[in-house]
Structure 1
Amino acid sequence: MPKLKADTRSRWQELLAGAAVEIDRLADSYLEQIMQISPYDSGLVDRDEVHDDARKSLQLILRNTTAPSTTGTDDLPVELGQRRARQGVPVESLVAAVRLCFGVIWSYILWRAHHRDAMVLAMHVGNLCGIVDTYARTVQQSYLQEIAIIAREESDHQRGFLLELLRHPHLPSNISRLAAALGTDESASYRVVMALMPEADAIHRAESQARASAEKLFTVEWNSGIVGFWQAPRKSKGPQTELQYRLLSGVRAGFVPQVAGLGKVPSAADSALDIAHVLTADDSGLVTFPQAWARVARRKLEGGADPVDRVTERLDSCGDEERHRIVETVQAFLESGNVGHVATRLYCHRNTVLKRLQRFRELTGLDVTIPQDAALALLALS
């Protein structure tokens, strides 16, 4: 077999040389065929550019079919892959276009060959296939590497726009420009999530999954945490129906379900961060302000909240069992405001509930049947 291949090599190279002489004809044939492939048929890539690239590619393939292959290190396939990535040609269309080179060259060789060249063709067709495959793989690898670079550039650009939005929330003139840059509607409603950094990986994963489903979830690290927000559909039945919410539902974070306009996102992120700071291991999922307002208020008052501190100190003067029963009863009453409901919930008599509320009043000076005192009690017990 090696001897037969060596004996036919001269004729094979003669056929390749003939193809090289007719390179312009081959490039014309290639152009006619590639214009049947989307998106080349729509003019995404200039016709003259396609023809010039075809001519250079065919020349390189023919040269490397004659001599030892160097397509893996040649600049042409690398540059071609990079350029097509920037032009937005889908990778499958690019690979199909490159593989047309084999058909164009092979068709020409068959046209020039005699019937007695059958063995020549059989011995060397594999070589041509291998060169085209190497060329196509190099183009594809370069394309994918460039796509990764583009993705990083887009991510960096988006991060810059998001940080500008969060840093300058009181500049309305910027909102329209930022909305256009982010590809979103400045007047739409938005949902905002804010988590502390331990949850960052989960939010980044949600962003990737949303992007894979052609949904937008904007994320950026900000102010000791990570912000995530997305545009609410105009006819929404609630966040629970939206992919972004479902992807984030397991993340422990503060959540503002709706704000009007892109310009309100920064203040909503601040509110969500206040919530995130008071979450504990007992919390799960997205927590809203109504669910956490008492803890948020308590945190903001820490260090100067004498009434709140006094409640805690006076309750601590009780024994552990009495303190537990009083706190349990007061918390239940603060949730419902109904003595009967508290008695049913705690499996005790109404009078027992009233006595415990009275004992709380004696210890702390707070009557939880009075709204102002109830609010202080809620803060103290949160």
Structure 2
Amino acid sequence: MHHTETCGGSVVTDDARALALRCETRANSLARRLSREFFGTVPGYDLLPSDLKDLEIAATVRHGVRTFLRGVVAPPSAADAYRVFAERAAQRAEEGVPLDLLLRAYALGVHGLWQVLRREARPGEEAALAELVDLLLRTQSEVVGVVTRSYLDAAAALAQEDRPGQDLLVRRVLDGTCGPEEARAGGLSLDGPLLLVAFAARVPHDADRGRHGPEGAVVRRRRLRGVRSALNRSFGTDAALAVLEPEPDGHGPAGRALVAGRSEVPDDLPGSLSRGYGETVHVAVVAAPDASGIAEAAGTAREIVRIARARGLVPDGPGHRLDDVLLEFHLSRPGPSGDRIAALLDPVARRPELLATLRTHLELRMDRRATAARLGVHPNTVDKRLARLTALTGLDLTLPHDTALALAAQLLREARAEAPGREPGGG
């Protein structure tokens, strides 16, 4: 009788290989059954996020079943046999999934596979079944060792990386209550160009609000890990400082981040952060000239995101810009947007006929004939002047939002012109 050696050095017969090959077709159904029935008996399993249970854990179960059964037929290399288990265990540690829950799930997986083998075995295959069960129990010992070691290594690395109080220190830096020297003394890098990132879920997610149990903790850690990984990949760094926090208005989860040493914002940042966060997010990025400007830039980025989400804007390119919400930003929080709005009319600053036409047209509620009569020109001249103004400034007066921006720009320029020593549109 022909014998085959597995990757662990065990020798199995042709009958055992045949039984394993028949059972491999049951991998998908076994994974579903384990996820729905077996694992549900583990305390705390029902509190895990749905995507973790239905996708990642089920995929790991399928991989484990196939790795074992295919290993009987065509043994994998020792390096490949348990790599996925090690990677998944490290992820679960980062997410805060308890180790005992993880090990119980693996033990139940072995139990479920034993049941499949027992049901699939035919009369006369008792010896083959005993061979596979013996191999399964020895494999379980290897898997438990790999999973435990990888989990504890990841947990130890996290404990060293997430120093007590670091998140609080990052928040203080973003809020402006911690100076650069104190931040650097706490181990934060604030050198080089600085980018402040704000993000918030497009639709407020109620699942985390007010949750303090295992689900809230796991979801939060998964999102924070995903956000940090996305930032590091997008910006090509490993030093992005990110925190998750409720928004001041109570509208669900949001976050802020500080990226040091980078000045360019990648176009795929919103998509990357959305994938890392686990749902679509609004994103804004504002540059700070140096460490002293972090708090102002962080506040501006957060306000841009708040307004963009309230307006239901869809981010384009690397995220929302201040220019996308200039009017709303200025009206809700006067500050740097005032100069930016006034500057929209800089391209026509030396075209008094265009400025006069705009002022009159706005004053007369966009009535072209009344504007023409007031200015003493033909209505077609009004149309041509407004078209020229649009071409030079990008403000389309057929759009309500652009009309509001043009009105604000006109009023701001006139107010600045009346102020002593201040040029229209000047900083």
TM range (shorter): 0.3 to 0.5
Structure 1 or 2: more helix by fraction: 1
| Structure with bigger gyration radius | 1
TM-score by length of 1: 0.39
